[in-house]
Amino acid sequence: MFSMYATLDLWRSSFRSLPGDMDETDSGKRFNDDVVSLAPSTNDAVIVEDEYYSAVQAELDSDAQDLEVESWSMAVDQQYLKNHTKEMIKRQDVIYELMQTEMHHVRTLKIMLRVYMRELKEHLQMEERQLECLFPRLESLLELHTYFLSRLKERRRDATQAGSDRNYNVQRLADILTTQFSGEIGERMKESYGNFCSHHTEAVSFYKEQLHNNKKFQNLIRKINNLPIVRRLGVTECILLVTQRITKYPVLVERIVQNTEAGTEEHEELTRSLALIKDCIVQVDALVNINEKASRLRDIAQKLEPKSLGKIKDGRVFSQRDLTEGRRKLLHEGTVNWKAASGRLKDILAVLLSDVLLLLQDKDQRYVFSAVDNKPSVISLQKLIVREVAHEEKAMFLICASSNEPEMYEIHTISKEDRNTWMTHIRQAVERYPHTETHPGPRKGIRLHIELQRASLTERASFPGRHRGNVLLEQEKQRTLALQREELASFQKLQSQHRQEQARWEKERERSRLQAEAMEGRLRKREEECRRLEEKLAEEREELERQREMYQQDLERLRESTRTVEKEKERLEQQRKVKRKTIEVVSFSAFPSQVVPLSGSLNGDLLLSGGAIGPCQPELAHTLPLPQKAPVRPSLSVAPADYAERPDVPQRGQSANAAVLPVKKEVPLHLCSTTNQQHKQVGVQQQIPTKLAALSSKSTRSGKGKASHRTDSTASVDMKQMLPMKLSGREDGTLKAKRSVSPQLHLPHALVHSQSLHFTGNVHVHTYMPTCLKPTD
């Protein structure tokens, strides 16, 4: 500690021995007010002034050495930077910022002291009192911060890496901060900043006043602003920077603490240093507040009317002189409303001092003591009671019980918060007020009472008229006291009503709370039921969705099956049609029942299949070949498109007037085909025995070229229905053949002739046998 103070004294002596100090340099050369100009009057003065500012500039450059770069990470080598973690880099950057901002602050203080203050003192011969008002405690601040900057730069040099001027790593900083803001240096910091910040407003006001009223001051300030060393840094800017500097330390130190490893000794010391810095700021703020209130109290005293007198309850008088005498301090002041007995509100200025409360009113730009209902405007804080007004958030009662006749004041504020602030300040002032009262002894009180009674009797005997006046005055006092008692009783009644309403409100609130809890329970139960119902609905929805998907799948399969069935049905229908055609062709080939006329008007196809032989002619299965189609010349008398169908043609050898044989209702199973099923003709066809077939073949050979005649019989079979050709009936006794549009069938070389075979049992069977056609036919 001794070495720290020795170092500080050394810096103080060096600071005072700097060249160009205002106490040593050019002390005998003073300019008069009428010869001040923007430029020096002689060449020697110019040379001396240039040398002085050159020395100041050199000093500022020396302070800024190694601190010109923006951050620590840019000042050191990049290879050295890679060896550190991010937290360590951030910590070194903040420490570098602390040193750099401290250097700028010292530069600002030196410009204020070495430039502005020197020029004002040298050229305008400004008094020390005015300079102190403009730059309060400037020398002390410069000394403290120059010492602080030197300690920081010394720690930087100690942390420099060997073999390098740029690379350094500051490990410990808390000891320097603790020394700067504690002990003697810390007290000087608080005092200097408290004084400077307290007179900040006064300094700015004085500067603006001089700049507005003093032409020489204005010219000199303009000249100083043009100096390169100032860099356009004006007086108001310098004052503001110095005022704000004390508030920058907590921010920087907090950032250093955040980037320091927790649990280490350096972290704990930095935390204590931060607490010291904050305590210093709090004390500086308290000093500023005290000085501001003292200045405000002086302003109120100056504005108070000297002839205005305020009365106190005990009969004393309060004047303007009493406002500033003694140790009275301003605790709180503000504009409130004083409610009169008539209900009218009067605007007043309430001034709370350390022992009394003043109620002032503004009158013609001056303050005077207010008078409402003849109540004293100066209230003593002794036994002062502060109460809230029922059903009124912005009002309060002040009950002065320091005398035998208590007074009650109803004060209204602009808001509930303002009311609470006033009540807090008044109660704190009442608690701090000394409650020492002088109580006279019992004997002395008795003697005093006897003397007063004797003086009263003497006064009544000597002045009867005055006694009557005193009686009236006493009656008036008693009436006033009765009114006050009534007001107090009404106040107590209102207070009891307020308590009852408050109790009723508490019950109502409790009942509301119980109802709210019950409703909340029901609501919670209802929410649980709704939640379960939602889960059930969700499950049902999922089940329905699953069923819908299954239905969709079944529907798709049904559609696919339907399509498959339709295709199968179409395929079977086609097969059935093919089979029907095949059966018709086979039936026609096996049992031809009609003779194809050999006319040129016959067209179409006659399908004669030799591969299908009926059951009555098994021996012809291997002897009859499949006839080939041959082109037949169509008749020239009929056009191909005249008739769409072939007309019914009677058989050769059959008479036109022959009777039509009845159609048999039934047909044997082996002769059933698609054609006879389609025409619904169920006839019975008897099978020809083998012997009868042989006889028929002989008869056919004997009756070659003749037409066979059919004999009507119940057992005869009409084989015309087995032919695929369409036959038309008779028309006007003649047969007309219609020519088909279909291609003509090539007739074989053998025609079929019908012959009648007569058997026993009167059974006639028609057979058709092929015969050879002659070329003339």
* pLDDT digit string, tens, across residues 161-183: 887 778 888 889 999 999 999 99
The CB density around residue 539, as the number of other CB atoms within 10 Å, is 10
What is the rounded average pLDDT of the residues 453-466?
48
Task: Grade residue 319 by pLDDT with cuts at 50, 70 and 90.
Answer: confident
Is 40 part of a structural domain of the chain?
Answer: no
Which residues have C-beta within 8 Å of that of residue 741, sequence separation ≥ 6? 603, 640, 641, 643, 644
Task: Grade residue 763 by pLDDT with cuts at 50, 70 and 90.
Answer: very low
Is 757 part of a structural domain of the chain?
Answer: yes
Is 12 part of a structural domain of the chain?
Answer: no
Please indicate, yes or no, whether residues 501 and 608 belong to a single structural domain of this protein.
no
First to last CA, the chain: 162
pLDDT(243) > 70? yes
pLDDT(368) > 90? no
* Cβ–Cβ < 8 Å for 175, 269: yes
The answer to pTM > 0.75 is no
Domain with 72 in it: what CATH number? 1.20.900.10
pLDDT(34) > 50? no
Task: Grade residue 471 by pLDDT with cuts at 50, 70 and 90.
Answer: low
| pLDDT for the residue 457 | 52
**Structural domain ending residue among the three candidates 525, 552, 584:** 584
Is 1 part of a structural domain of the chain?
Answer: no
Q: What is the pLDDT of residues 248-306, one digit of tens each?
A: 999 999 999 998 888 899 899 999 999 999 999 999 999 999 888 888 888 888 888 88
Please indicate, yes or no, whether residues 744 and 616 belong to a single structural domain of this protein.
yes
| pLDDT for the residue 328 | 82
- What total of structural domains would you count in the chain? 4
Is 476 part of a structural domain of the chain?
Answer: yes
d(CA 167, CA 448): 90
Closest CA to 683 of 671, 694, 692: 671
Please indicate, yes or no, whether residues 94 and 178 belong to a single structural domain of this protein.
yes
Instruction: Look over the chain and give the mean of its residue pLDDT values, rounded to a whole number.
Output: 72
| pLDDT for the residue 372 | 82
In terms of DSSP H, where are the helices of 591-642?
none
| pLDDT for the residue 588 | 66
Is 260 part of a structural domain of the chain?
Answer: yes
Please indicate, yes or no, whether residues 60 and 164 belong to a single structural domain of this protein.
yes
Please indicate, yes or no, whether residues 550 and 602 belong to a single structural domain of this protein.
no
Please indicate, yes or no, whether residues 579 and 521 belong to a single structural domain of this protein.
yes
Cα distances (Å, whole numbers) of residue 410 to 370, 400, 599: 14, 12, 147
Q: What is the pLDDT of residues 94-136, one digit of tens each?
A: 999 999 999 999 999 999 999 999 999 988 888 889 899 999 9
Closest CA to 124 of 236, 26, 32: 32
Handedness of CA 188, 194, 196, 202 (dihedral sign): negative
Please indicate, yes or no, whether residues 756 and 697 belong to a single structural domain of this protein.
yes
Structural domain range at position 727: 591-653+662-777
Q: Identify which has the larger pLDDT, 79 or 519.
A: 519
Among 22-36, 57-71, 203-217, which range has the highest average pLDDT?
203-217
Is 45 part of a structural domain of the chain?
Answer: no
